[in-house]
Structure formats: structure tokens, C-alpha cells
Amino acid sequence: MTAPESQLATHPWHDTTRSVADRVDLLLREMTLEEKIAQLGSRWLRKDLHEEEAEPIFAPDHNVAPMQDVFSAGDLPLDEASRHGLGHLTRVYGSAPVTAVDGAAELVRQHHVVLDAHRLRIPALVHEECLTGFTTYGATVYPAAIAWGATFSPDLVERMAAAIGRDMAAVGVHQGLSPVLDVVRDYRWGRVEETMGEDPYLVSMLGAAYVRGLQSAGVIATLKHFAGYSASRGARNHGPVSMGRRELIDVILPPFETAVATAAAGSVMNSYADVDGVPAGADRWLLTDVLRDDWGFTGTVVSDYWAVPFLASMHRIAADDAEAGALALAAGIDVELPDTIGYGAALLASVRSGAVSEDLVDRAARRLLTQKVELGLLDPSWTPEGSVALAEGVELDSADNRALALEIAERSIVLLDPGSVLPLRDVSRVAVVGPCAAEPRTFMGCYAFPNHVLPRHPGLGLGVDVPTAVDALRAELSEVDIVHAVGCDIQGDDRSGFAAAVSAARSADVCVAFVGDIAGLFAHGTSGEGCDAPDLRLPGVQADLLAELVATGTPVVVVVVSGRPYALGDLHGRAAALVQAFMPGEEGGAAIAGVLSGRVQPSGKLPVQIPRSPGAQPGTYLQPPLGAETTDISSLDPAPLFPFGHGRSYTTFTVDDLRLSATEVPTDGEFTVSVRVRNTGSRAGDEVVQLYLHDVVAQVVRPVKQLTGFARVGLAPGGSADVHFRVHADRTAFTDRDLRRIVEAGDIDVHVGTSAADLPCHATVRLVGPTRVVGHDRRLDTPADVEPAPGDAGP
């Protein structure tokens, strides 16, 4: 049933000729306190389709959010939960395996329940997850975010996000809970796979590109997890963060700030973690002083799932859910997800008693209602049916989507070391072994629907076609005899399959061993949310399997399919080749096979380092001298096996001819760094030229080197191009002892090359003039221009 147009048209806030602000003001003046508070809540019907027709499906072994089974107890029916209105509908498509058409029908049903339950008939905003694509049954599974990092390709990430957004918008989704902008600080953390790497600038550029792409389709992007979540002690999920404010400002916050400043991100989600004892969900400095007052953010802050009651039950800074709700609202959380606990009756009582100001309720309600007006939900023409009008014709795993997923996967594969056998040529028999060779779910992250929801529906398969690695190699090497043996499981200590794998390797010209991760949730995997690792040894007995394979004398190509980097020091020099594939999505098998055969020219670069030993923690490249350099003051060698930014190809490149537009620049000036990159090999290929800066002497300890710019350059054999980086002095800014962000005079070392450890070009620029205090209006990026070198036909 649809609300009559005449009924909607009687209210002045439906008048589209008025400004958004006027319409919101008119609506707020009409609303009761109960109705305003209701807009700050949400409802998650965690059952298969119709709530009244199904049994609950979540238990501790099937949670898709932390402590979901606990918080789902005592849920209200949707009509009762919507008696005064409702802010959000949670994961209508992402909680159970429904087709787009069936999900749309259920969404229409839920919309009508919400509209019919209260007098003002304000529609709810609909949100879903989209970390590796739209998290719903049958939708394209793109590579995980760590693979986006390996592409060093913001334009490609933006195209992917736009495709994801179009699919979500077609079925009536308004908000996507992505991108994750956490900067990796410890590789053992389970959610490394959801990040774009360990460098703030790389994450900033790719994250802002994702936001632009998703929001170009009319879907609000949600930046998460704000902030500090990735730096927990011991890499424990939700663990406390021991981090000073300077590190938080200089390393953790820049991707969020960049997405707000350059991509106008519409929403932010708080982190579960506490930083120095203050949980993000109750941190007014973070959520209001920084995010809104300093950065000018005007969107909504939504809670991570159950982060509001966690303030009482987990952080224990509140006595009960009512106090938790009051703390979160005062700090700046506008909407509680995925269900209403702290922002329900308890908040109403707190306002009625005077313990919480109604102004805080108005502030949050205004922000959410502004988005509803901007999305068209309060236009007279809006109807539940109209919001899903495209659902019947949408192809959630279209040929175009799959082609894009393949392109990203191919560009993300990192050739660590081609060794002596890659690309595979002149082989008649190849043994394909290892637990990741015939398990397609290893290609997908923990928020991909096949790993996120379908484990509790084992009869439904994956919902999308995901060729395995062994099948992809059989298709790629059609004239080669492929023999297959599993060898061992990804987890566990069963070695009973070793003998068959060793026998297969001995009988072959080359052995390709696929090892790595299986993504899951809350200990039901080796990577993913709640799947933290004690060290960086390959899970289970996979390292032992590789040792026995290498001992056969047959050349062994090791392909690591994982969500985090694993220590490969024992293999380097013994394996015939090393390849890193960061959860490359549903087309990952074809991408890897193409790289191994040589049909695909590898061009991925490491967004995280590959450690040498499993206990070298923490090991990200962004370290000061005492954290990065080998000295005689410690017996530990911090050097990685393969550095940040590393990646080989089947051709060769040189980077040289460094030129500076000036060697002395004012502290408010700009200089250009130019280099020439040449393809000196026999094949076309891409190189990622990387610019790093180092502040020689500063008020506080600074990194030995920090990525400041990058450019992907495609060149034909013998081709060359000039890359020009325009570096503003703002790009040298850091947080001083007084917690001001400053640009100070002094020498800046400039390094350009192809990884953090391969930097053949060096120069020094001197900044001169007074120390400048800079703010949110400073330059946040380093534009790079690529042009054909003189006498060259161009890239």
C-alpha cells in the first residue's frame, strides 16, 4: 500500500522548492521529542525475509557482527520499533541470501511498516555493507581492499566504487558502510585485509577515490573506523590502543581528513577501540572538535554496530545503556546502528529528566533529516516501490562488473620475485598443490557475502561463479598436464596429505603451491574480523608443506593468497619464485593464472611489507631511525624481506635524471620534482614511480622516509616518460610538541624510485622562512603529471 500523494503534499517540508535547511527546520518544529529521538535509531530484522515467518538464524557460531547473538535478544517487532519513526533500516539485503527481486520486495514491505507506524510517515534510510562489493547474495565479489592498495590506482578504485554504488542504488540502498581508512600498524591484526595498506598517503588517495565513486551513484559513503582501531595492543581485535595524540594526528587521521576535504564524504563510523583510555564512541575531541569544528564535516556520524552499548558493557565507562547513549550523543554520534539500545527509551528518559539536553537530540536529528531530504526521501513523489524500480532488471554480477573485477585483480597481483621459472614456459607437467589451490573462498575477504553470510547456508554454494586456481591454470595452460594435490588444510595440523603433494611435485617439471588464508569472522578463519594472528608464520602446517615441496628439488613457485603479509624469509632463495595475491576476488584465479603464464604483465606493488621472520613486530615501513635501521644497539633486524612499494614485472625499468624546479623554497611555497622513467625491457608494462620525503632535522622524531606522491606509468618497450611531482611545502607538515601542525624551515631529502628501498634518485630541498601553523585548508595531495619524454612516442 502506498501513501496518497495528496497526504504527502499537505506538509510544507515536502515542498521541493524550499531549501533543504528550511524543509528540515519545518519538520523538526513539527516533531515531538519521541519522534526526534526515533530518527536516531535503527532496526535490523535478522531473519530470512519476513520477520514474523521465520526463526532467528543467528547464534554465536554465526555472528556477522560482534556479540550479535547477545544484542539480538528481546528485539522489538518493526512496527513497534517504528511507532515514532525510524532512522535506518539495517542490511535488508545483506543478512540472508535473497535475490535482488526478493530483497526489494522485503525492503518495500519494511518501508511500508515504518511509514504506516507513525503519523509523520518519514521513510527510513537504508544501509548495507560494501567492503568487497555490495555484500548481498549473487553480487560481484571484487578484490579485498588490501588488493586495491596493491594497485596504486585511484582511478581504478573510483570506477569500481561507482559500479558498486550503481548496483546498490538500483535496489534502493542509500548508504554504504565503506571505505575502511584504517592505516595498518601491525600485520597480525585480522582486519588488515579490509585496509588499503600501511601508508597514510596511499590510503588517503585510494580512500578518497572510493568515496567519490560510491557517492557519484547517489550512495553515501561511510568512513571507518574513526579512529585508531588498527593500532591495538598485540593486534587484538577491539584491543586498547597505546598511541599518543601526535601519532594519531600524523598517521591515522590523514585518510579521513582527505576523504572529507577532497571527496565530501557523507558519513563517518566510529572505532570500537579506546585510544589512551578514551573510547572513540565517547570522544568529543575526535567526533566534534576535530571532525566538525576543524574539518568542517557536515554529514552524519553513525555508530559501529553496538558501539553505544559497548561503552557500558565492554569499555565500562558508563553504568548502563542509558548513560552510554548520553555519552555517545554528547560526543557526536548521531545515529545508533544496527539496532536502537542506547538511543531509545533510555535516552528519552534522560532528556525528560534534564540529564541530557534536547539540543543534542535536535543536533543529531537535523543531520540525519538533512540527508533524508538530500536523498529525496521527503519529496512528494518518493514511494517505497519507486525506490526499487530498477531492482527487477539489475544484474548484480554483470559481465561489466566481472570485467572490472578482473582488471583490478590483475593489477593487484604482486610479483615478489620471478626467480628462475616465471613466466611458465616450456613445461609439460605442472603440479598444483596447497590448500588454496581448489578453495575459491580463499580469494574473497570476510565481508564478501560467500564468506560473511553463506557459511550458515551451506547448500547454496557461493552465489557467484568463482573459478578455482587449479581450474584457472588448466584453462590458461590448456596444453600442459596439470596434476593436483591438496597437501594440507589451511588450518590445523593434519599432515596426511603431504605425501601425495610431494609425489605430485616430484613428477612435475614445476610445482605451483597455493598457500595462505581463508577469511572468516570471529575466529572462524585465519584472516578477517576477529581472526587475529599470534605471529606471521603461515597458518597451520602450510610452512612445513612448503619445506617438503622445496626439498624435492622440483622448482616450486609459491603463491600466497592472503589478507595479511606472511613471513617468507625461509623460502626466499629456495623457492623458484614468489607471488603475493591479496584476496583477489571472484576473478582472482584467472588473474593469477595470467600472471604465472606471462599473458598478464604483473604490475602490483606492496601496500604492506613482507616480513623476513614471523616474530618481527611491529614492522611497517613508517619508522624513525631507531625503528627502521639495523644497528649494533639491538639484536633484532627490522629490515623486511620485501619493502613497501615493491613489485617486479616481466620487463625492466630505470628511474633517473632527477630535476628540481628549485633547491630553496619558502615554507609556504611549492617545488616540482621531475624524473625520467624508461622501459628497458622487451615487453610493455607499468611502473609505479614513488616519491618519498625525509625531514632531516625536526622538532620531533620523524620517519626515515614517507611516501609523498606516486604515479603509475605505462610504457612500451624502449619507451620513456617524464613524471613531474608538484610538492607543496604543506606536504612536509607534522605535529609539533605543542600539538600544532607546522611547516618549519630546514632541509628536506627527496627520494624517487620504485619502492621504499629502491630509490636511486636523491636530492635536497631547503625550506626557508618562518614556521607556519597549517590547518585543514593545507595541501593534502601531491599531483603528478606524466608526459612523453622528448623524442618518445609517449606512454
Residues annotated as part of the active site:
304
Return d(Cα 231, Cα 241) in angstroms, integer. 6
User: Do residues 302 and 53 lie in contact, with contact meaning Cβ atoms separated by under 8 Å?
Assistant: no
Q: Could you give the CA distance from residue 95 to residue 43 in angstroms, rounded to a whole number? A: 13
Please report, as a single letter, which amino acid is at residue 545: L
Q: Is the dihedral of CA 353, 355, 360, 364 positive or negative?
A: negative
Residues forming beta bridges with residue 787, ordered by sequence position: 722
If you search the block for the grid coordinates 623458484, which residue do you land on?
Answer: 576
- Is residue 397 classed as helix, strand or coil in its secondary structure? coil
Helices and strands counted in the chain (H then E): 24, 27
Burial zone of 229 (CB within 10 Å; 0-12 exposed, 13-18 middle, 19+ buried): buried
What CA–CA distance (Å, rounded) separates 236 from 230? 9
Rg of the chain (C-alpha set): 27
Helices (H), 508-571: 542-551
> Residues 613, 567: contact at Cβ < 8 Å?
yes
786 near 684, Cβ under 8 Å? no
Using CA of residue 395, residue 396, residue 401, residue 406, what is the dihedral sign? negative
Give the Cα separation of 452 and 65 in Å (integer): 10
What is the C-alpha to C-alpha distance for residues 403 and 256, in angstroms, rounded to an integer?
Answer: 30
Q: What residue spans of 264-398 are helical by DSSP H?
A: 284, 307-313, 321-331, 345-353, 358-374, 384-387
Query: Alpha-carbon distance 740 to 246, whole Å?
Result: 9
Grouping H, G, I as helix, E, B as strand and the rest as coil, residue 452 is helix
Residue 641 near residue 560, CB atoms below 8 Å: no
CA–CA separation, 203 and 208 (whole Å): 8
Q: Quote the cell numbers at residue 451.
A: 564468506
C-alpha cell at 720: 620513456
CB 165 within 8 A of CB 237: no
Cell 581508512 locates to 181
